[in-house]
Amino acid sequence: MGDNEICFETDDRYNAFLTTCKKAPHGPGALAGIGVAVKDNISTKGIETTCASKILKGYIPPYDAHVVELLRNSGAAIVGKTNMDEFGMGTTTENSAFGPTLNPCDTGRVPGGSSGGSAAAVAGGMVRMALGTDTGGSIRCPAAFCGIVGLKPTYGRVSRYGLVAYANSLEQIGPMGRTVSDVSDLMQVIAGYDRRDSTSYDRPYTHIPCADINGLRIGIPRQYFGGGVDPEVAAVVTRAIGRLEGLGATTVSCSIPSMEYALAAYYVICTSEASSNLARFDGVRYGPAADSKKPWHEAYQEVRRANFGTEVRRRIMLGTFALSSGYYGKYYAKAQVARMNVKQDFARIFADVDVIAGPTMPTIAFKLGEKSDPLSMYLSDILTVPVNLAGIPAISVPCGKVNGMPVGLQVMGRPWEDERVIDVAFAYEQECV
């Protein structure tokens, strides 16, 4: 690491950051001297990593996540850890134990979640790029709500080593930025094989975005423009797709029948994995102390009840229930079959089209406190979760506004065709910005 430092002074009026590194060292490399924000569920050696939860308050990892090592090696300056929904569980960043993040486009609204802090940091001009994570839309949703660009890579393209696990089989770390080029540059740094992650593939990313989409075939799934989607949002996205046609692309109607149960399958799988991943938080090796005067079981329950937020506890319980004896077949096993069906639906469609396009989110950003019912919150993930179930790449790029709030165009691609998905977003951006 070089001797250089950047000075990161920021007036964080959006509560985007949980930790800021006022003097951030950096070295030489592709991102030399560029300040990058890192979502607070990604382990940073020597820097507090809380996942926006009280149960990790004060936890200082003794190691860097793989992507953080890569960031440092690329010369980037890590300027802070960003706010998020606790352990990634949420769509608005309102589930943070340290207060919600505000949307820079309208501070009365949510920035989206769970990578709301990273999105606000970029949208608010505090950093040029940020790392987020996407389990069921947690990069794409805040990118859409805040009017920036966010990519969820193909599953396995970016190492998860160091990402505090929420749902291992669904999540990926991904780049967020103001422009597609920035996102592409950051992707180049973080993508690639890591032997410590057994689900990681040897697929580096070395792509310069290209705006030529002549002859591109775009699938338009009717489920993305149906009843659950705000008509104004649908109209903006339809117009955006029209601009792509103007650049030489053609559109094809298609259908994803498995969308009927994709959301249910997603929530069964992610809560099941989460219930197991979060069981380790017991106040013994890290986090707030368990009361060693009490017996184990009691002390353990007490620490968790006091330090996990309501949504986290709810999802842990849902997952515990779904995996429990007698229910495994009904929930978890069925969800895996459903997942296979989603994968097959996409594979079938991709035989005839190159990318699939639609809105990222069914609405614009909600007002703070608007969505208080958990199920109604889950339902807003309907357009993003199929991508995670299938493991395919998807990007959200700003494509217009409704009531002054940004709308995101979501472009989904075949496994390993992150480059193509970037190109489509780039083409749109170049054409319309």
Which residues, numbered 370-399, are part of the site for other proteins (CB under 8 A)?
Answer: 373-375, 378
Residues numbered 287-316 forming contacts with other proteins, rule: CB under 8 A: 287-302, 304-305, 308, 310, 313-314, 316
Give whole-number Cα distances, 15 to 19, 80, 96, 110, 385, in Å. Answer: 10, 12, 11, 11, 27
Give 47 or 264: the residue with its C-beta nearer to other proteins. Answer: 264
Position 340 contacts other proteins (CB under 8 A): yes
Bridge-partner residues for 174, per DSSP?
Answer: 132
Position 208 contacts other proteins (CB under 8 A): no
Q: Known catalytic residue: 292?
A: no
How far apart are CB 105 and other proteins at their closest, in Å?
A: 30
Position 332 contacts other proteins (CB under 8 A): yes
Give 297 or 433: the residue with its C-beta nearer to other proteins. Answer: 297
CA gap 353, 341 in Å, rounded: 18
Measured at the CA of 138, the angle between CA 410 and CA 131, to 5 degrees, comes to 100
Q: Residue 385: which of 407, 410, 409, 406 has the closest Cα?
A: 410
Total residues at interface with other proteins (CB under 8 A): 94
Position 417 contacts other proteins (CB under 8 A): no
**Marked catalytic residue, from 138, 200, 258, 396:** 138
Per-residue contact flags (x/-) with other proteins for residues 52 to 71, judged by CB under 8 A: ----x-xxxxxx-x------
Cβ-based burial of 365 (10 A; exposed 0-12, middle 13-18, buried ≥19): buried
Cα torsion 359, 213, 30, 196: sign: positive
Q: Which stretch binds other proteins (CB under 8 A): 121-129, 133-141, 232-240, 286-294?
A: 286-294
Q: Which position among 231, 242, 324, 352 is part of the footprint of other proteins (CB under 8 A)? A: 324
Position 205 contacts other proteins (CB under 8 A): no
Helices (H), 103-197: 116-123, 140-146, 180-190
Q: Which position among 201, 224, 346, 350 is part of the footprint of other proteins (CB under 8 A)? A: 201
Position 228 contacts other proteins (CB under 8 A): no
Query: Radius of gyration of the chain from Cα atoms?
Result: 20
Q: Which stretch binds other proteins (CB under 8 A): 24-32, 142-150, 257-265, 382-390?
A: 257-265
**Tokens (6 digits) for 380:** 């807003």
Q: Known catalytic residue: 343?
A: no
Cα torsion 89, 119, 370, 14: sign: positive
How far apart are CB 68 and other proteins at their closest, in Å?
A: 10
Q: Residue 101: which of 8, 12, 20 has the closest Cα?
A: 12
Q: Which position among 32, 284, 402, 432 is part of the footprint of other proteins (CB under 8 A)? A: 284
**Tokens (6 digits) for 150:** 């966010």
- Residue 28's CB is within 10 A of a number of other CB atoms, namely 13
- The torsion angles phi and psi of 22, rounded to 5 degrees, stand at -65, -35
Q: Residue 131: which of 94, 185, 89 has the closest Cα?
A: 185
Bridge-partner residues for 39, per DSSP?
Answer: 82
How far apart are CB 345 and other proteins at their closest, in Å?
A: 11
How far apart are CB 196 and other proteins at their closest, in Å?
A: 6
Q: Which position among 24, 119, 190, 265 is part of the footprint of other proteins (CB under 8 A)? A: 265
Contact 30, 74 (CB under 8 A): yes
Q: What is the DSSP letter of 253?
A: E
**Tokens (6 digits) for 370:** 């608007």
Position 336 contacts other proteins (CB under 8 A): yes
Position 350 contacts other proteins (CB under 8 A): no
How far apart are CB 158 and other proteins at their closest, in Å?
A: 13
Contact 205, 188 (CB under 8 A): yes
Give 88 or 400: the residue with its C-beta nearer to other proteins. Answer: 88
CA gap 391, 127 in Å, rounded: 28
Residues numbered 91-150 forming contacts with other proteins, rule: CB under 8 A: none
**Tokens (6 digits) for 382:** 């309907």
Position 172 contacts other proteins (CB under 8 A): no
CA gap 383, 340 in Å, rounded: 17
Q: Known catalytic residue: 138?
A: yes
Q: Which position among 161, 205, 224, 428 is part of the footprint of other proteins (CB under 8 A)? A: 161
**Tokens (6 digits) for 305:** 């009840």
Position 348 contacts other proteins (CB under 8 A): no
Position 14 contacts other proteins (CB under 8 A): no
Give 285 or 351: the residue with its C-beta nearer to other proteins. Answer: 285
Q: What region, left, alpha or beta, does residue 256 occupy, with left being phi > 0 and alpha being psi -120 to 50 degrees?
A: beta
Give 203 or 217: the residue with its C-beta nearer to other proteins. Answer: 203
How far apart are CB 191 and other proteins at their closest, in Å?
A: 17
Give 155 or 225: the residue with its C-beta nearer to other proteins. Answer: 155
**Marked catalytic residue, from 114, 275, 380, 396:** 114
* Residues with a known catalytic role: 39, 114, 138
